[in-house]
Amino acid sequence: MTRSFDPSLEKAKALDREDDLSGFREEFYIREGNIYLDGNSLGLMSKRAEAALSEAVAAWRDYGIDGWTDGKYPWFTLSEWLGEKTAPLVGAEADEVVVTGSTTVNLHQLTSTFYRPVENRTKILADALTFPSDIYALQSQLQIRGLDPEEHLIRVPSRDGHTLREEDLIAAMTEEVALIVLPSVLYRSGQLLDMKRLTAAAKERGIPIGFDLCHSIGAIPHRLSEWGVDFAFWCNYKYLNSGPGGTGGLYVHRKHFGRSPGLAGWFSSRKDVQFDMDHRLTPAATAGAFQIGTPHILSAAPLIGSLELFAEAGIDRLRKKSLSQTRYLMDLVEHELAGMGFSFGHPTEDERRGGHVCLVHDEAVRISKSLKEYGVVPDFRAPDVIRLAPIALYTSYTEVWEAVRRLKKIMEEKHYEKYEKKRGVVA
């Protein structure tokens, strides 16, 4: 750390006073004395999300089946309406986004739609560091086509075990590749990939490309339509705070409108003919065509309230604060925890960093348990990663300062040694 840095509590409090987003903290339920730094895994409940869920339950109570067409948020078009509200967060047109399914279900849908192996172009390009669920889905998509994943699924390796190089990914875009599926932000390290560059390289080679946005939506701005990304998919329960198992989302570039969904279902239909009950599907002329079954209304409802907060805060302001807070956290770690065995597993440049800090330590699993006892909620990823995510909507700079103070105390007193070096069933 070469620039001047003030590690004092007074500085943290001053940063909070200067924070123009600090008022949003009052919108969330935050346990007193608890420092929650795991919003990149499950976001906290907001009061508006709670109210929106209660309103959806009341609509069920008051309208019964008429809730599909009546009430403040008719269920029949709720997925499309939420897609329109989500679109600014991914840089898309309103009809290019729909809230539906889950991360893995949506990946299956999009792979089924865009993966079209022909002659020698049969391979799917992914990476060795991506979330396992994505790999499972891609492997099964190959298997149902009678193809061996060991041969037809390319996983570009990391050079350091934590990050990827765009040039390595581009070099793997050969004439054998029929589809590319990559993360926007690597879930362990928090590295932000250059989606614009990767999309341009894929387009030059005529390969459709899609991104898993689970660890970027709600944390960084996107320009999916402008970049020409073919498709994307994500969950809404991390930075978007829609609740555990909240309904996911997907994006399809409008140049693909009219394409038949790989996995068709009743809600793939054009709305005006859906109740004709014809056995010939007329797909919606929007991203709505890539829905499958009846939307999960109660799982989607909290997003109504959550997206109101994002519209008010603005994704650019949220990104600016997120970068400031993660930089502040990194500076504190370097200043306070020097010589204690910690290193960063992510790139340190702002333009290559997502929304969380990746601390690498040989005792990560025991330190994470100790942090929880000290009232700090981290996220452990085997074998040696502690993920810490200050969330711009509800984490204060003072909390970041206090979390590092508690971590320093844990290390100085070797408090973590009381724990077994073994992760819990849910890490």
Q: DSSP string of 102-164? A: -HHHHHHHHHHHH---BTTB-EEEEETTS-HHHHHHHHHHHHTTT--HHHHEEEEPPSSSS--
State yes or no: 4 annotated in a binding site.
no
- Distance (Å, whole) CA 352 – CA 402: 26
Q: Does pLDDT of 188 surpass 90?
A: yes
Alpha-carbon torsion angle 330, 335, 340, 343, nearest 10: 30
Closest CA to 154 of 136, 167, 173: 173
User: How many Å apart are CA 193 and CA 41, to the nearest integer?
Assistant: 19
pLDDT at 308: 98
Residues with Cβ within 8 Å of 307's Cβ and at least 6 positions away in sequence, in order, are 82, 85, 86, 240
Q: What is the pLDDT of residue 423?
A: 78
9-30+314-418 fold: Aspartate Aminotransferase, domain 1 (3.90.1150)
Is 405 catalytic? The answer is no
The yes-or-no answer on residue 238 being catalytic is yes
Q: Considering 188, 321, 381, 387, which one is annotated as catalytic?
A: 387
Closest CA to 404 of 3, 6, 1, 7: 7
Instruction: Please name the amino acid found at residue 163.
Output: T
Q: Does position 208 have pLDDT exceeding 90, yes or no? A: yes
* Residue 114 annotated among the catalytic residues of the structure: no
Q: What percent of the chain has pLDDT over 90?
A: 97
pTM of full prediction above 0.95: yes
* From 123, 188, 238, 353, the catalytic residue: 238
∠357-347-386 over CA atoms, to 5°? 30
Mean pLDDT of 351-380: 97
Beta bridge partners of 28: 46
What share of the chain has pLDDT > 70, as a percent?
99
| CATH number attached to the domain at 51-311 | 3.40.640.10
> Residues near 66 by Cβ (< 8 Å), separated by ≥ 6?
none
Q: Give phi and psi for 237, each to the nearest 5.
A: -100, 0
CA 96 to chain centre: 18
Q: How confident is the model over 377-394, as a mean pLDDT?
A: 97
Strand partners, 209: 180
Give the DSSP H or E segment for 17: helix 9-18
Tokens representing 124 are 């799917």
Catalytic residue from among 95, 127, 212, 230: 212
pLDDT above 90 (res 125): yes
Instruction: Please give the Cα distance from 161 to 34 (Å, whole number).
Output: 32
Catalytic residue (one of 5, 63, 131, 257): 131
Q: What is the mean pLDDT of the chain?
A: 97
The bridge status of strand 249-252 relative to strand 343-344 is unpaired
Q: Is 103 annotated as a binding residue?
A: yes
**212 annotated binding-site participant:** yes
Cα separations in angstroms, 203 against 206, 208, 214, 401: 5, 7, 23, 44
131 marked as part of a ligand binding site: yes
State the Cα–Cα distance between residues 192 and 197, nearest whole angstrom: 12
Q: Indicate if 131 belongs to the active site.
A: yes
pLDDT(3) > 90: no
151-181 residue pLDDT tens: 999 999 999 999 999 999 999 999 999 999 9
**Separation CA 85–CA 235 (nearest Å):** 15
Structure tokens at 46: 């907001």
pLDDT, average across residues 43-72: 98
Per-residue pLDDT tens digits for 67-114: 999 999 999 999 999 999 999 999 999 999 999 999 999 999 999 999
For strand 35-36 and strand 376-377, is the pairing parallel, antiparallel, or unpaired? parallel
According to the model, what pLDDT value does residue 1 have? 53
The strand pairing partners of 124, in sequence order, are: 153, 179
Supply the pLDDT for residue 425.
64
In this predicted structure, the answer to whether residue 141 has a pLDDT above a threshold of 80 is: yes
pLDDT higher than 70, residue 310 = yes
145 is known as an active-site residue: no
Kindly give, in sequence order, each residue whose CB lies less than 8 Å from that of residue 58, ignoring residues fewer than 6 positions away. Answer: none
Separation of alpha carbons 245 and 228, rounded Å: 29
Quote the pLDDT of residue 422: 84
Domain residue limits, the chain: 9-30+314-418, 51-311
Residue 291's identity, in one-letter code, is: Q
pLDDT at 399 over 80: yes
pLDDT in tens, 228-282: 999 999 999 999 999 999 999 999 999 999 999 999 999 999 999 999 999 999 9
Helix ranges, 314-396 (H) = 315-336, 364-373
- Reply yes or no on whether the pLDDT at 2 is more than 70: no
- 133 marked among binding-site residues: yes
For 20-51, write each residue's pLDDT tens digit: 999 999 999 999 999 999 999 999 999 999 99
Tell me whether strands 357-360 and 385-388 are parallel, antiparallel or unpaired. antiparallel
Phi, psi at residue 335, to the nearest 5°?
Answer: -80, -45
